[in-house]
Amino acid sequence: MGHDTSYDALLHEVCVGLGFCGAIVDGELQHVDKFIPDQGIVSADQFVDWVFLAEGWDPSESDALRHRAGLRSVFLKHMGAEAVDARNLR
């Protein structure tokens, strides 16, 4: 299955492959896209933290820590760098 952008492929693997698709948090549907700024540099660690926040998880909790390395790896695989311009995540 093809994806239009590297970010589309990243989101597909994060959601379909790993099950991190966002959740309803405090009565509002959350998704990692809501946390990405319009401009600036986004690191793999920031992206992973935002994935957890979209799930309603504290990024420092043990459940999140168990998944951190895998999510970072997926970011690096699809985005090709430790940090990318936020515009590449659109």
pLDDT in tens, 6-34: 999 999 999 999 999 999 999 999 999 99
Mind listing the pLDDT tens digit for each residue in 39-75? 999 999 999 999 999 999 999 999 999 999 999 999 9
What values do phi and psi take at 69, rounded to 5? -60, -40
If we measure between CA atoms, which residue out of 48, 57, 37 comes closest to residue 75? 48
How far is it, in rounded angstroms, from Cα 37 to Cα 8? Answer: 17
pLDDT value, residue 90:
82
